[in-house]
Amino acid sequence: MMTRSEIHNRFVERFAVGIKTPCLPEALKQVEKALNTRFPQSFIRFATCYGAVHTPGIQDLVTVGDPDHSPEGLHHDVLEFFSANDMLKTTEAYRSAGMDDALVVVASDCMGNVFGFRIIAGTERPDDAPVHVFDHGQGRISAVAPSFDGWLKSFVDLKQPDASANGM
């Protein structure tokens, strides 16, 4: 079984391109305060180590060249994780466009859908939490993974497509 650090490291090593911009802990606390939530420890660790990473290669693995076909349990790619400032601005923008106020967004896919956590109230910081997507085309929020670490691991576990199966 992979540790949290191994999952996060493998995810970033395999998919992140360009500059990795870690989030400052104080900036994440400001987002939490502004949106009245607590991020899970799993996300805090990822965001403070790697932050706003761009992951365009996931789309091809999720769609395998066919947008109507994706591996079981994966229906969305993740294109980018947001900086703390963009988490706040994007959450507010999507809320003003009709997204339920219960979601705090941290990432997006290639189609403009956003991923995040439902509001976690209280003083206790959970170790991990389910990841949800706001599908703007359908106008609804649904769960995509029972945990942040599990969500990242589902991408890490994706196999490269067999080039011979695609006639290459």
- Statement: 4-157 belongs to CATH 3.40.1580.10: yes
**26 φ/ψ angles, rounded to the nearest 5 degrees:** -65, -35
The two three-digit tokens of residue 151, written as one number: 């969500």
Return the pLDDT at 77. Answer: 87
Q: What is the pLDDT of residues 147-164, one digit of tens each?
A: 999 999 999 998 765 544
Q: In the chain, where are the structural domains located?
A: 4-157
Q: What is the pLDDT of residues 119-150, one digit of tens each?
A: 988 888 999 999 999 998 888 999 999 999 99
Dihedral sign (CA 20, 81, 93, 116): negative
Of 136, 112, 152, give the one whose Cα is nearest residue 16: 152
Low-confidence ranges of the chain (pLDDT < 70): 63-75, 160-168
Return the pLDDT at 159. Answer: 75
Residue 121 CA to residue 98 CA, distance in Å, equals: 22
What residues contact residue 124 under an 8 Å CB cut-off, 6+ apart?
A: 38
Q: How far is CA 111 from CA 31, 115, 135, 167, in A?
A: 24, 12, 9, 27
Q: How much is the CA Rg of the chain, to the nearest whole Å?
A: 16
Return the pLDDT at 162. Answer: 54
